[in-house]
Structure 1
């Protein structure tokens, strides 16, 4: 069961959706109904630790990973939780998006 699903705007004709799957502890991005990537997390009462993010190479170079990261981080902040970036991709995204700094606990 998912708690958050949002269609994402796309530059082309493809349909992009991002969903939080609490039971699986991951955010999933699909493109035209095909799973394109995941961001895996470990929840705690006060924080979400991101441990791994991957985008299928077939979807690379289209900003899919950045959309996934933004959705996951925005969702975490909206829930009033801290972000703990153990995943290199999420950590790098955060280094380029200072708007999240007040919500990040760097490991």
Structure 2
């Protein structure tokens, strides 16, 4: 069975959302820095949808949208950073944070990688 999914950008909540049918199955949060770079800070999937490849779909489509918009992306979310290390996103400009930036951006309970 194939899940019907779509990824949308929700500017009101500063995140990309993956919809499974009519349900939000997960999201990738971002913020825009003063210099105009898009910093992806956190990605989360609803536990009922884990292990089904939705995280990769969300990451791929969100990053492709950012590339189409001409945005420079800073991957501070460990999941997004891992995705980018294994996948090419055509036209995407990535500004990799250094290790000290990654440690500072980790949210409580989240370790930088």
* Superposition TM-score tier, normalisation by shorter sequence: 0.7 to 0.9
The unaligned stretches of length 5 or more in structure 1 are 1-10
Aligned to 1:95: 85
SS at match of 1:62: coil
Pairing partner for 2:53 from 30, 53, 63: 63
The unaligned stretches of length 5 or more in structure 2 are 98-113
Between structure 1 and structure 2, the one with the greater Rg is: 2
Verify: 1:82 aligned to 2:88, yes or no. no
Aligned to 1:4: none
CA distance in 2, matches of 1:94, 1:100: 11
Distance 1:101 1:86, change over 3 A: farther
Following TM superposition, the consecutive aligned residue runs of length 4 or more in structure 1 with deviations greater than 4 angstroms are: 99-102
Q: Which structure has the highest strand share of the two?
A: 1
Report the number of matched residues.
96
CA distance in 2, matches of 1:18, 1:35: 9
Task: Return the TM-score normalized by structure 2.
Answer: 0.77
Task: Return the TM-score normalized by structure 1.
Answer: 0.81
Verify: 1:42 aligned to 2:43, yes or no. no
